[in-house]
Amino acid sequence: MTQLQFVAGIDAVEAGSWDALAGSRSPFLRHAFLQALEASGSVGGNSGWQPRHLLLRENGKLVAAMPCYAKNHSYGEYVFDWAWADAYARNNLAYYPKLLTAIPFTPATGPRLLVADGVDRSDALAAMLEAVSEECKRGYSSWHLLFPEPALAADCSALGLLHRKGVQYHWNNRGYRDFEDFLARFASRKRKQLKKERRQVLEQGLEIRRLRGDQIDTAMWDRFYLFYQMTYARRSGHGGYLSREFFHALGTTMPENLLLVVALRDGEPVAGALNLIGADALYGRYWGCIEDYAQLHFELCYYQGIEFCIERGLDRFDAGAQGEHKIARGFEPVITESFHHIAHPGFRDAIGDFLRRERVSVEGYCLEAAAGLPFRNESGDAD
């Protein structure tokens, strides 16, 4: 017997059953990560993220799952649909609540449909899309799938879901022996500039340390949370989406997936960048500082991560959304994708037309951005 069910929290699923579907490739799909978000109050409660995870069972056994949330705003998504919500409001229609399949506050491409071995992915996807469509009829304007991995993106495109593209900047490991080997790809002038940036960090009397999860004690977590809050306060006027308890929970439940890069001045931590480690990629997620130092953001958030990837043989470094300044530091523009089910037929047609035109612009931008990479051309070391 097949049963589809929306549940109001990740604790409705036994951790072993969920993780058996999720595998080890993406740290953000681990039961522990999603539970840390919920248990810490970073989602749920009054956050505007209400868990509505979708489960598919066969004869009582969990065979497929999809993280899902009911949203009453569009914060923390990184695929911006505020203009769509405004258009609904101008027509006296409610855009919120909506349904969202994504990892909260995490614009990282990865698995979104989790399927057991031996289960047909296409059948599972079709069943879940039917369940989502029926749920939208009960009071949701739409359903949105953000940052799916390529296989699921291809399936969703074939099914005719509205298709959106965006751009991020990722570092790719071309089999480099060390950081100097990576820099050897750069044009001379740009290589010198990057070396100058790294040198400036040390000339300010800063010490850089990399801490794995089991090396991060309570005091360091509290210090990092202060960095995180202060950076959000400067940028957005609030203390950030994530709670202190969230970070402490990560340190307790999944330390093997954590890398904290810390800058110290006279032995005192003054800045930090927290990364999550996947099976084949590093994900730069959270950064903060209490004092401004020249080039420190680049060192902690980019160069230390690149070195770690080379040392560990990781294929890719996803250092987060946006940031054209990453191009000059060897991060290549890549296309990201999202898919959208819009229940209202008129808005579905209008948004679909907009997305067709937007995709052309995004694809063109991606090609232009690639021309700004700092690497030598084939004919030699051009500046």
Token representation of residue 355:
């997305």
- Sign, Cα dihedral of 288, 292, 296, 302: positive
2-165+334-370 with 174-314: one CATH topology? Answer: yes
Sequence-distant (≥ 6) Cβ neighbours of residue 207 within 8 angstroms: 263, 264, 265, 267
Superfamily of domain 174-314 in CATH is Gcn5-related N-acetyltransferase (GNAT) (3.40.630.30)
Residue 277's beta-bridge partner residues?
282
Q: Are 271 and 227 in contact (CB under 8 A)?
A: yes
Residue spans of the domains in the chain: they are 2-165+334-370, 174-314
Fold of 2-165+334-370: Aminopeptidase (3.40.630)
Q: Per residue of the chain (383 residues), what is the pLDDT tens digit? A: 789 999 999 999 999 999 999 999 999 999 999 999 999 999 999 999 999 999 999 999 999 999 999 999 999 999 999 999 999 999 999 999 999 999 999 999 999 999 999 999 999 999 999 999 999 999 999 999 999 999 999 999 999 999 999 999 999 999 999 999 999 999 999 999 999 999 999 999 999 999 999 999 999 999 999 999 998 888 777 878 999 999 999 999 999 999 999 999 999 999 999 999 999 999 999 999 999 999 999 999 999 999 999 999 999 999 999 899 999 999 999 999 999 999 999 999 999 999 999 999 999 999 999 999 999 975 445 44
Amino acid identity, residue 302? Y
At 149-179, the pLDDT tens digits run 999 999 999 999 999 999 999 999 999 999 9
